[in-house]
Amino acid sequence: MRIDVLTIFPDWFDGPLRTSLLARAVEQHALDLRVHDLRDWTTDRHRSVDAAPYGGGAGMVMRADVWLAACEAVWNDLRPQDTAGAQHPPPEARYRAGGERPRTVLLTPRGRPLTQALAGELAAEPRLTLLCGRYEGIDERVHQLAATDEISIGDYVLMGGEVAAAVVIEAVTRLLPGVVGNEESPTDESFTSGLLEYPQYTRPAQLRGHAVPEVLTSGDHGAVERWRREQAEELTRRRRPDLLDGDEGHG
């Protein structure tokens, strides 16, 4: 899968997404991750991406002209120097704002909540474009003309969309074929079954007076299965009763 990220902090992605399993996904060509600097599509001396809000008020609003030029360039694989300040993409370009475009996610606290079901849906796309805005706001025309989806990662406020984009990238990447290695592992975990995961133990069997539950060393596979199921249900009932109420994203 190809994922393009548009951000004013491209360096931020060097760390988390170029180490460990995500780095391996990139090396294995399961993930083609391309991070772009939104400022490459500015045209003024100060490379400004925001301006005062019409109607007044505190804070700045990110400019739709810069965002739309950047999106159309990235969607169509056009260079910043050919597209910064452009009113429209060239006529031969396939993708355009307000028209056909690859799945494009604007990360915003007003978006629909990210769930395992939504991560699975995004993982089935050939390509994603992730737009990282700053919390204060983006001109509404970016929401209308560039985004196909608006996603939030939870009911709290971050300063910008970068951390949320990293969360989406990680949740999606681990679902791509061949990425996790053990093909069985991801589907056995929390949220795929709709329940929280049961407790796990490994050696030593005795630790500081805390023994491993006897059933796990009994060799009775049926009893182990039943115990794990009960534990998962009990944990879910106590900590996340909302997950038992219905369609909470484990489609």
Binding site for ligand 6GU (CB under 6 A): 107-109, 111, 135, 152-154, 156-158, 160-161, 164
Instruction: Kindly state the smallest distance separating residue 243's Cβ from ligand 6GU, in Å.
Output: 19
Does the N-terminal peptide bond of residue 204 adopt cis geometry, omega within 30 degrees of 0?
Answer: yes
Q: How far is the CB of 237 from ligand 6GU (least distance, A)?
A: 27
Q: Which two tokens stand for residue 247?
A: 């369609």
Q: How many CB atoms lie within 10 A of CB 223?
A: 13
Q: Which is nearer to ligand 6GU, 111 or 194 (CB)?
A: 111
Q: How far is the CB of 21 from ligand 6GU (least distance, A)?
A: 22
- The torsion region of residue 208 among left (phi > 0), alpha (psi -120 to 50) and beta comes to left
Contact 49, 84 (CB under 8 A): no
Please report how close the Cβ of residue 91 comes to ligand 6GU at its closest, in angstroms. 34
Kindly tell me which of 17 and 195 has the beta carbon lying closer to ligand 6GU: 17
Q: Side by side, which strands form the sheet with 103-113?
A: 32-37, 2-7, 127-132, 103-113, 149-152
Q: At closest approach, how far in Å is the CB of 173 from ligand 6GU?
A: 17
Instruction: Kindly state the smallest distance separating residue 192's Cβ from ligand 6GU, in Å.
Output: 22
Contact 162, 135 (CB under 8 A): no
The H-assigned helical ranges of 39-178 are 64-75, 80-83, 116-123, 140-145, 162-173
Residue closer to ligand 6GU, measured from CB, 10 or 109: 109
Q: Among residues 68 and 153, whose Cβ is nearest to ligand 6GU? A: 153
Q: Which residue spans within 165-224 are E strands per DSSP? A: 206-207, 210-211
Comparison of 23 and 60: residue with beta carbon closer to ligand 6GU: 60
Measured between alpha carbons, how far apart are the two ends of the chain, in Å? 22
Provide, rounded to whole angstroms, the least separation between the CB of residue 170 and ligand 6GU: 14
**Which CB sits closer to ligand 6GU, 98 or 113?**
113
Residue with smaller CB distance to ligand 6GU, 133 or 194: 133
CB of 239 closer than 8 Å to CB of 204? no
